Amino acid sequence: MKTYKLAAIALLHFCLLFILSGCWNNKDINHRVLPVAMGISKQDKEYKVILKIPEPHQGTTQIKIVSATGTTITQVVDKISMNMESSVDLLHVKVIIIERETAEQGVKDIISGFMRARDVSAKALVVICDEDLDEFFSKIKKTTGPEGTTLFDFFEKNAGWNPQIALTRIWMVYRSIHSYTHDVAIPLVKSGKSTMVEQIGSAVIKNGKMVGEINSDETLLVNAFNGEGIQGRIEVMDHASVLIISDRMEHKSKLIEQKPYLQSQINIKVVLLETRGDPSTKVIKKELEHLLTNRFNLMFTKFQTSKADILGLGQFYRTQISRSQLKFWRSKYYPHLKMDIKFHINIQNEGYLKTSSD
């Protein structure tokens, strides 16, 4: 009796081995391809998807570009998967590249699809490409090094990211589609001549549609405003070039007769790098203040005309505008917003050389 029981338990535990492996319809890693970048363009109701797949090949990595068209993105991916010798797994897609025209038509469906299916991580970066996607990818293929992740490294904060590049992930774009007060900027790139990609500026996205464009200097201000940190950026003026080492902001928001007023002060600490002639620190400070203020005001009027609240200014009025009214923030309040921005510059040090203070 006892041996029977023991045998039964042993058999049961043996069966458990099969469950414990946790594999179901599992495809081994050598039968999967893991694209790192995905390009999407829409041509008369048909999506064209281009995948950039790094393939290990005798010790080095080779880049393979595959593309197909179809009515939905999943269908296209499925098609590619069908035509390739191994199955496509989107788990590691890090960068989504959308063609400019597609972005102008709106990316709501694409982004919602990614959020729903979770094949693609919600953290993947979104980029808009200012040229034909086929051309972009074929150029990339030539310039990419053996690691195959260059396109991703370009945007990664601990790698090739610079403060004048917007950093926007899928979930942020999704938030901008639904949020009442928050829009996003998406980096706008094209293939470069000597470097792989060239950053042109940022696309202004409102409710999932591209409505405008700002250059990379203006993107820097947006990043500063959103607290991304703009350290390491070099500003060049007539008399000097400086390195920004820290930035801090204060805001005061008011609502007078249904008209929003915002007073902002941005404190920036800089280090002097290079001078032309013999300017005093006072002149440099004034010059930098002037430069940034002008640039900001110019950019802000651009935002207001396109009614896109990239800076998330509506967030400051959440205490003053009721939720039902906040719905109309972009159309009713935002265009009338009076913004008074002040830059306060501190020169932390002047390097090894002395500079006169006045």
Partner 1 sequence: MYPENIIASTSEGHWLAILLGVIIHFVVISVYMKGLSFFPNRNIIGIYSSVGKGTALFFLIPVLLYFLMVIIITVRAYSEIITIVFLSNTPLWAIMALLLFISTYIASCGLETIFRTGILLAILFLPLILFIFFVSFQNVDWRYAIPIDGNFQFIKKRDYLESFFAFSGGYLFLGFVQPFFSYNRKNVLIAAAVLIPFFFFSVYIPILTFGQATASTFFLPFVVAVDAININWLMFDRVTMFFIISLIAFVMLFLSLVSWKTIRIIEQFIPSIKPVYMLISLSVIIFLFCLSVPDWKDVEKLFWWNTILRFYVLIAIPISIYLIGIHSKRKNQHENI
Count the neighbouring beta carbons within 10 Å of the beta carbon of residue 14: 9
Rounded Cα distance between 158 and 217, Å, is 21
CA distance 275 to 327: 49
Member of 105, 121, 143, 281 binding partner 1 (CB under 8 A): 121
Measure CA of the first residue to CA of the last residue in the chain; give whole Å: 101
Q: What is the DSSP letter of 31?
A: G
CB of residue 69 to partner 1, shortest distance in Å = 25
- Beta bridge mates, 263: 252, 340
Check binding of 158 to partner 1 (CB under 8 A).
yes
The dihedral region occupied by 249, where left means phi > 0, alpha psi between -120 and 50, and beta the remainder, is: beta
Q: Give the strand order in the sheet containing 95-99.
A: 60-70, 46-57, 37-43, 95-99, 125-129, 184-191, 197-206, 209-215
Taking the mean position of all CA atoms in its chain, how far away is CA 304? 21
Residue 328 beta carbon to partner 1: minimum distance, rounded to whole angstroms = 13
Choosing from 41, 168, 181, 223, the residue that interacts with partner 1 (CB under 8 A) is: 181
Contact call for residue 180 and partner 1 (CB under 8 A): yes
**Residue 106 touching partner 1 (CB under 8 A):** no
| Coil, helix or strand at residue 83 | helix
316 sits near partner 1 (criterion: CB under 8 A): yes
- Stretch of residues binding partner 1 (CB under 8 A), selected from 78-86, 228-236, 274-282, 310-318: 310-318
Q: How far is the CB of 22 from partner 1 (least distance, A)?
A: 8
Least distance from C-beta 93 to partner 1, angstroms? Answer: 11
Tell me if 332 contacts partner 1 by CB under 8 A.
no
Single out the segment in contact with partner 1 by CB under 8 A; choices: 137-145, 241-249, 287-295, 314-322: 314-322
Is residue 302 part of the contact set for partner 1 (CB under 8 A)?
A: no
Helices (H) then strands (E): counts for the chain: 10, 14
- Least separation in angstroms between residue 158's CB and partner 1 is 5
What's the closest the beta carbon of residue 182 comes to partner 1, in angstroms?
7
For 64, 107, 219, 356, the CA distances from 346, given in Å and listed in that order, are: 50, 42, 22, 15
Stretch that binds partner 1, among 133-141, 292-300, 312-320, 334-342 (CB under 8 A): 312-320
Q: Which residues bind partner 1 (CB under 8 A)?
A: 19, 24-26, 92, 115, 118, 121-123, 156-158, 169, 171, 174-175, 177-182, 312, 315-316, 318-319, 322-323
